[in-house]
C-alpha cells in the first residue's frame, strides 16, 4: 500500500509540473481536476486501509467530500467563469515556460534540502512524500506569481490548498475530521466568492488582466 501512496504522491507532483507547462485555461482546469482525483484516490486508499485496521471511516468520508467538491463542483464553477471571459490562452509571460519549469525543479530540490533535516520526518518513505507535498504548496504559490490572468490566480490558490491538504494527509495519516471539514467549507466559499468577483471584474473593466491593477496607483 505504501508503494501506491508513493506513486500517487509523485504523480500529484507531476501534475503540478504539467499545470505549470500549460498556457490554456481549459487545460489548467482539467489538470486541476486530475490532481484532485488523484488526491481523492490517495485519501481513499488510506481510508480503506484505516477501515481495515481500526474501523474508522473518516478518511473515506473525506475522500467522498473531495470528489464532490474538488473534482465535480469547483471545476464546474471555474468552467462557467471561464466561458464568460473572452481570453483562453495566456500569451505573454514574465519569464518563458522552460525557465518556469526549471524554477519548479529548484523548488523541489530546495524543499528537500530544507525539510529533510527536520526531526520526525526522517523516517524513510515518509520523507519523500512530505517533500513532494510541500513542494506542491510552493509550486502553487509560484504558479500564482507567474500568471497574469485571474483564472490562473484562482487555480494557483486551489493548488496551494491541495498541497496543504496532501501534506497533512501524508504526514499525519489524516487530520482531525472537524478540521478537514472546516477547510473544505472555507475553500468552497472562497472559490465561489472569487468566481463571482472575476465575473464582476470582467463585466466592469472588460478584462481580467491583473497587471492592469497597476493603473489604479496614485
Partner 1 sequence: MLLTIRNMGGQGTLLFVSILLYIFAAAASLVLMKRHKICNIVSNTLCILAATAGIAASIIEIFFNQALTDIHIFQSTIPLLSIDIKMDKLSAFFVLCLSVLVVCVSLYSIGYISHYYGKRNVGLFNFMYATFILSMLFVMISGNAVFFFIAWEVMAMISYFLVVFESEQEENQRAGKLYVIMTHIGTAFLLIGFMIMYSYTKSFDMFASSAAIPPFAKNIIFIMFLIGFGTKAGVIPVHIWLPHAHPAAPSNVSALMSGIMIKTAIYGILRFVFSYLGIQNTWWGVTILVIGIVSAVLGVAYAFVEKNIKRLLAYSSIENIGIIFIGLGVAFIAQAQGNSTVCALAITAALFHSFNHTLFKGSLFLGAGSVHYATHTKNMEELGGLIKKMPVTALFFLGGALSIAAVVPFNGFISEWLTYQSLFATITPGQSVINILSILTVAVLAMAGALAAASIIKLYGISFLGLPRSDHAAKATEVPGIMNIGMGILVSLCLLAGLFPMAVLQGIDKVTLGLTGLSILGRLKGGFLLAFYPMNISGNAISPAVIVGVLAGVILTVLIVIRMIGGKYIERKYGTWDCGFEALSERMQYSATGFSKPIKIVFKALFRPTRSIKIEGDLTYHPESIEYTVSAEPIFEKYLYGPLVRAVKNFSKKIKFRIQTGSIHTYLIYIFLAVLALMLYNRLS
Partner 2 sequence: MINVVYAVIQIVVLVLAAPLVNGIIKKVKALTQKRKGAPLFQMYYDLFKMCKKTVVVSDVSSWILKVTPYIVFSTAVAAGLLVPVTTLIQPGWFTGDIIIVVAIFALGRFFMMLAALDTASTFGGMGSSREAMISSLIEPSILVTLFTIGLTAKSTALFPIMNFMKSTGTPLIHPVYIIAFITFFIIIITETSRIPVDDPSTHLELTMVHEAMLLEYSGRNLALMELGAAIKQLVFITLLVNIFIPLDQLIGVAGIAAVAISLGIYLIKVVCVSIIIAVIEVSTVKLRLFSIPNLAALSFILSFLGFLQYFVFGR
Which residue ranges make up the site for partner 2 (CB under 8 A)?
A: 3-4, 6-7, 9-11, 13-14, 17-18, 21, 97-98, 101-102, 104-105, 108-109, 112, 116, 125, 127-128, 131
Q: Which is nearer to partner 2, 19 or 160 (CB)?
A: 19
At residue 175, φ and ψ (nearest 5 deg) are -80, 170
Q: Is 110 in the site for partner 1 (CB under 8 A)?
A: no
Return the closest-CA partner of residue 71 out of 29, 13, 27, 14: 29
For 45, 128, 133, 214, 215, the CA distances from 218, given in Å and listed in that order, are 54, 47, 40, 9, 8
CB of 98 to partner 1, least distance (A): 9
Nearest CA among 185, 188, 208, 211 for reference residue 197: 208
| C-alpha count within 13 angstroms, C-beta hemisphere, residue 49 | 12
| Phi then psi dihedrals of residue 48, to 5 deg | -60, -40
Which of partner 1, partner 2, none binds 108 (CB below 5-8 Å, type-dependent)?
partner 2
- Distance from C-alpha of 214 to C-alpha of 218, rounded to nearest angstrom: 9
The listed partner (partner 2, partner 1, none) that binds 102, CB under 5 to 8 Å by sort, is partner 2
Query: Which H helix or E strand runs over 60?
Result: helix 58-66
Contact with partner 1 (CB under 8 A): which of 72, 97, 102, 109?
A: 109
CB of 6: closest distance to partner 2 in angstroms?
Answer: 5
Q: Applying CB under 8 A, what is the total number of residues that bind partner 1?
A: 3
Q: Which is nearer to partner 2, 7 or 83 (CB)?
A: 7
Among partner 2, partner 1, none, the one that 125 touches (CB under a kind-dependent 5 to 8 A) is partner 2
> Contact residues for partner 1 (CB under 8 A)?
109, 112-113
Amino acid at each position: 500500500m505504501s508503494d501506491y501512496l508513493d506513486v500517487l504522491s509523485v504523480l500529484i507532483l507531476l501534475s503540478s509540473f504539467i499545470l505549470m507547462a500549460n498556457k490554456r485555461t481549459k487545460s489548467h482546469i482539467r489538470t486541476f481536476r486530475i490532481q484532485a482525483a488523484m488526491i481523492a484516490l490517495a485519501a481513499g486508499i488510506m481510508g480503506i486501509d484505516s477501515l481495515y485496521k481500526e474501523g474508522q471511516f473518516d478518511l473515506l468520508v473525506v475522500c467522498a467530500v473531495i470528489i464532490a467538491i474538488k473534482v465535480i463542483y469547483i471545476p464546474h464553477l471555474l468552467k462557467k467563469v471561464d466561458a464568460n471571459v473572452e481570453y483562453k490562452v495566456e500569451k505573454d509571460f514574465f519569464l518563458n515556460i522552460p525557465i518556469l519549469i526549471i524554477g519548479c525543479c529548484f523548488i523541489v530540490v530546495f524543499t528537500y534540502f530544507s525539510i529533510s533535516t527536520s526531526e520526525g520526518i526522517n523516517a524513510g518513505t515518509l520523507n519523500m512524500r512530505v517533500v513532494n507535498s510541500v513542494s506542491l504548496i510552493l509550486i502553487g504559490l509560484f504558479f500564482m506569481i507567474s500568471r497574469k490572468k485571474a483564472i490562473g490566480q484562482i487555480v494557483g490558490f486551489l493548488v496551494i490548498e491541495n498541497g496543504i491538504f496532501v501534506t497533512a494527509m501524508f504526514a499525519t495519516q489524516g487530520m482531525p475530521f472537524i478540521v478537514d471539514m472546516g477547510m473544505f467549507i472555507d475553500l468552497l466559499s472562497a472559490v465561489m466568492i472569487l468566481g463571482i468577483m472575476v465575473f464582476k471584474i470582467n463585466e466592469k473593466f472588460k478584462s481580467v488582466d491583473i497587471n492592469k491593477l497597476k493603473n489604479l496607483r496614485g
